[in-house]
Amino acid sequence: MDFILDGFIQALILLINHDSETYSCIFVTLQASTISMLFSLLIGLPCGFLLGYSRFPGHKTIRTFVNTLLALPTVFIGLMVYAFLTRHGPLGEWGLLFSISGIAIGQTILALPIVIALTASAIESVDPDLKLTLISLGANRRQLALTTLQEVRWAIIAAVMTAYGRVMTEVGISMMIGGNIKWHTRTITTAIALETNQGNFAKGIALGLVLLFIALLANYSVVFFNHASKLHGKS
């Protein structure tokens, strides 16, 4: 138990003293996850809204496909993205392999089904009587869509935070696409795996504490917004 306690003490010292290598991993992680979430939201929110709000030929098939993608292993995503970005792949000339941008591409693919599926579920949960009431009051399509979004805004925010938590804690994509290059593409999760294997327990714990704190914030946000959504539904 002594080496575990000592590891926590040294971890806090590293964080307090702003250890450059530790904070480099943190900044890379935040940079890659921020880029991936921006693209996931730009693509996923409109697609999720369309999937939940409209009915069209092939709707059930697409919904089943999106739900299936929720269970995609991160190592499989990393493998497929690696195949595209490698020098012999169709996107090899872009030079995105072993870069933060490459990691962001893989994480976008990971987060996108989460944003789409949870947004669609939120839209589908809206009371059908609301639409009929708005139509009877003379609302047009734009007003119907905006009112629907207003009703499920908390659930959509919870979906976003769920996707963010998933992206922040993944390791397979970051390891395979980023290559775990020191000062360049080493993220919190890949650094934890490396430092632990090398016996650097303190640095692994320091990064683990940061990751735990970020995951805690994401999960707390999900609980908060879900609670807010339920309170709004009762009001």
Pick the residue with more confidence: 30 or 219? 30
Q: How far apart are CA 125 and CA 148, in angstroms?
A: 10
Q: How far apart are CA 190 and CA 177, in angstroms?
A: 11
Q: How far apart are CA 66 and CA 115, in angstroms?
A: 10
- Mark out the alpha helices in 70-136 (DSSP H runs): 74-85, 100-124, 128-136
Lowest mean pLDDT, pick from 19-33, 99-113, 126-140, 150-164: 126-140
pTM of this structure: 0.85
CATH class of the structural domain 2-14+21-234: mainly alpha
* pLDDT the model gives residue 231: 66
- pLDDT band at 112; cut points 50, 70, 90: very high
Q: Which stretches does DSSP call E strand in the chain? A: none
Look at residue 235 and tell me whether its pLDDT is greater than 60.
Answer: no
Taken in order 188, 119, 232, 34, is the CA torsion positive or negative? Answer: positive
Give 103's contacts (C-beta < 8 A, 6+ positions apart).
32, 36, 173, 174, 177, 178, 185, 187
* pLDDT the model gives residue 54: 84
The answer to whether the beta carbons of residues 49 and 152 sit under 8 Å apart is: no
Pick the residue with more confidence: 52 or 218? 52
The answer to whether the beta carbons of residues 189 and 211 sit under 8 Å apart is: yes
Please give the average per-residue pLDDT across 182-203, as a whole number: 85
- If phi > 0 it is left, if psi is from -120 to 50 it is alpha, else beta; for residue 187 that is beta
Q: How far apart are CA 188 and CA 210, in angstroms?
A: 8
Lowest mean pLDDT, pick from 18-32, 130-144, 151-165, 202-216: 130-144
* pLDDT the model gives residue 232: 60
* pLDDT the model gives residue 230: 64
* pLDDT the model gives residue 51: 92
Of the candidates 222, 195, 220, the one whose C-alpha atom is nearest the C-alpha of residue 206 is 195
